[in-house]
Amino acid sequence: MTSQESPSVGQPPARPLWRRALGPRLRAAGLALPLVAFVSVTFLGPMLSLLTKSFHDPEVADALPETMAALRGWDGQGTPSDEAFAAVAREFVAARTERNLGRTANRVNRVASGMRSTIMGSSREMVDAAAAAQAAGVEMDGAFWRETMIAIDSRWGGPEPWRALEAAGQRLTARHYLKALDFERGPDGGYQRAPEVWRIYVPLFWRTFLVSLGVTLLCLVIGYPVAHMIANSPPKRANVLLLLVLLPFWTSLLVRTTSWIVLLQNQGIVNDFLVAIGLIGDEGRIAMIYNMTGTFIAMTHVLLPFLVLPLYSVMRSVPPAYMNAAVSLGATPFQALRRVYWPQTLPGVGAGCLLTFILAIGYYITPALVGGQSGQLISNMIAYHVQTSLNWGLAAALAALLLGGVTLLYVVYDRLVGIDRIGLG
């Protein structure tokens, strides 16, 4: 659309090129619409809604609105005003009678463990106290409830349960992320590390990272020679070998994982064999499963094809003449491998390792089945919070951190190696 484009006289003004191309382009883009819609509905939408849960948690605020209003001016020291006692009592007694206090108590308990029993235990007696007071005609004002609640459970006379209620009532909150990083709010409102018994997530993130790294390296060490052999075999043999790699790939993950249980367990085939040949005694059977070793072995096996296949297809494109040339020019086989062959297979190594690592970092079923307790990874904890504790906020925060970590890794990889160097052949 610059001045150079002035149309020549006598001809109808030509539509600019980009405009002429627009129609077909839109039509072409239209073909991708079903995919875009599918991805939005089944992937982006649910993911965003789950991620929102990691910082937005309105349940307690909605369940105890009067309490939250009464606590708004409190400085967090000592006990709050009489109004807060009265509001909490009204709402506890009402919720108890309508049988939905348990849910609220569960939510508050996530902020401070022990709050569920405090709330459920106190509220049971508060219902009785309210009934007795009504029968006796006693006015149930803030002072009455302050006295009654502290008499029922002395903890209401200190700031801790009130701080927990106030924190749980925040609609927008960072507490799930704090918990996922093993931090908590201190009594002065500052951030501090959680008590040692509760510090579990950061070590788990580390373990997941290290296991994924280890599995990826193990896959590379095992997979590289295999891929090389397949790529340099005559077609007929290569097909058979490729089938051997693909066959387990087509088998259900569950079947493969449970097969490892049969092989590796205490009375399993491997141990029986080692005992039979006298390498170990019957008492000295090796624990190879339900621990970290089991996780390592099974994950390496399951993920191996993801490294072999990209490597294979890249190696196929490396002409064998290069190696022959290098050797004939005086390089030792190792030098030729290191300086001629290896650099040419790097795109495949990059692709395979990144794929394997990212799959490994989210691994869930295999560690759950063969990992025992010491072989559990962060995704098992996410599954626990989604399925068992129903603490979706924390699950979402953990998932967001995992997603962030993988993205960061991708960016680092891009900076160091360059994402365009990834090749699948």
Partner 1 sequence: MRSSGVIVVSVVLVAGCRLAADSPPGAAPGGEAGERSITAVSYGGSYARAVVRGYHESFTEATGVQVDLADFQGGLAQVRAQVEAGAVHWDVVDLSVAETVSGCDEGVLELIDPSILPAGPNGELPEDDFLPEMNTECGVGNLLFSSIFAYNREVLTGPPPTRLADFFDLERFPGRRGVRRSPEAILEMALMADGVPKDRLYDVLSTPEGLERVFRKLDTIKDQVVWWDTSAQAPQLLADGEVLMTMAANGRIFNAQVLEGQPFVIVWDGQVLNRGQLAIVAGTPRLDDAMRFVQHAARAESMAGVGRYIAYSPARYSAEALIDRHFETGTEMWPHMPTNPANMKNYLMTDWRWWADHGDEMLERFTAWLAR
Separation of alpha carbons 277 and 142, rounded Å: 80
- Closest distance between partner 1 and the C-beta of residue 143, in Å? 28
Q: Which of 290, 301, 367, 375 binds partner 1 (CB under 8 A)?
A: 290
Q: Which of 54, 208, 216, 265 binds partner 1 (CB under 8 A)?
A: 265
Residue 120 near partner 1 by CB under 8 A? yes
Q: Reduce the DSSP state of residue 223 to 3 states and report it.
A: helix
Q: Which SS3 state, helix, strand or coil, does residue 183 take?
A: strand
Contacts of 380 (CB under 8 A, 6+ apart): 364, 367, 368, 371
Angle 296-300-301 from CA coordinates, rounded to 5°: 120
Contact with partner 1 (CB under 8 A) among 331, 384, 413, 421: 384
Contact status: 100 vs partner 1 (CB under 8 A): yes
**Is residue 97 at the binding interface for partner 1, with CB under 8 A as the rule?**
no
CB 339, CB 331: distance < 8 Å:
yes
Minimum CB separation from partner 1 for residue 276, in Å?
16
Nearest to 304 by CA among 366, 208, 223: 223
Q: Which is nearer to partner 1, 74 or 384 (CB)?
A: 384
Residue 415 in the binding site for partner 1 (CB under 8 A): no
Torsion angles phi and psi, residue 60, rounded to 5: -70, -40
Nearer to partner 1, 117 or 324 (CB): 117
Closest of 180, 179, 62, 61 to residue 113, by C-alpha: 179
Nearer to partner 1, 101 or 399 (CB): 101
How many other CB atoms are there within 10 angstroms of residue 246's CB atom? 13
Residues 189-248 that bind partner 1 (CB under 8 A): 197-200, 203-204, 246
What the block records as the tokens of 233 is 């075999």
Q: Closest approach of Cβ 408 to partner 1, in Å? A: 21
Which residue is listed with tokens 């088998």?
251
Shortest CB 69 distance to partner 1, Å: 24
Q: Is 305 in the site for partner 1 (CB under 8 A)?
A: yes
CB nearer to partner 1: pick between 209 and 290: 290
- Among residues 417, 408, 294, which one has the least CA distance to residue 352? 417
Which stretches of the chain bind partner 1, using CB under 8 A? 96, 98-103, 105-106, 109, 113-114, 116-117, 120-121, 197-200, 203-204, 246, 249, 252-254, 265-267, 290, 305-306, 309-310, 312-313, 316-317, 355, 359, 365, 372-373, 376, 381, 384, 387-390, 424-425
